[in-house]
Amino acid sequence: MRKTILLVDDNPKIRKLLSRLLEAGPDYDICAQAADGKEGLDLAQKYHPDLIILDLSMPVLNGLDAAKQLKKILPEVPIILFTQYPDLGKHLRRTDLPVDQVVSKSDSQALVRQIRSILPV
């Protein structure tokens, strides 16, 4: 059975790229896509995905604030923070965050590896 992933990123090109990348194989389905953290919260409650990928910097509700709320309502669902700031990702991993992994947007293969480690098939 394919695992479901919710994509939350304000950049439609990133959402499209990730959708193509993840749905190309037989293991993952994108159950929904959101353009901001608030919409991501609503869709997470509706679809109960197996994994959530959140952009850090978004309008309405940023990725960290959305992750905090998501962990309260869906504590068992892993969250990957997907950021365009690779150095920030290294710094954030050392703090107590409401996310399971931090991955740089400059390394899509690292994202795929993290997804496979969190959601093995």
**Per-residue pLDDT reduced to its tens digit, 52-73:** 999 999 999 999 899 999 999 9
Section 21-27 average pLDDT: 89
Q: Spelled out in words, what is the top-level CATH class assigned to the domain 3-118?
A: alpha beta
CA distances from 117 to 13, 100, 120 (A): 25, 11, 6
Per-residue confidence (pLDDT) for residue 41, from 0 to 100: 97
Cα separation, 15 vs 98, in Å, equals 22
The residue-averaged pLDDT of 22-32 equals 92
Q: What is the pLDDT of residue 71?
A: 95
pLDDT in the model for residue 95: 60
Instruction: State the Cα–Cα distance between residues 15 and 10, nearest whole angstrom.
Output: 8
Output the pLDDT for position 94: 55
Check: CB of residue 67 under 8 Å from CB of residue 81: yes
Q: For the chain, what are the domain ranges? A: 3-118
pLDDT digits (tens, 9 = 90+) for 83-105: 886 565 556 555 667 888 888 88
Higher pLDDT, 84 or 47: 47
Q: Is there a contact between 34 and 8 (Cβ–Cβ < 8 Å)?
A: yes
Q: Specify the range with the lowest mean pLDDT, choosing from 9-23, 53-67, 107-121.
A: 107-121
CA distance 44 to 99: 15
Q: Is 51:78 a contact under the CB 8 Å cutoff?
A: yes
Query: Mean pLDDT across the chain, nearest whole number?
Result: 89
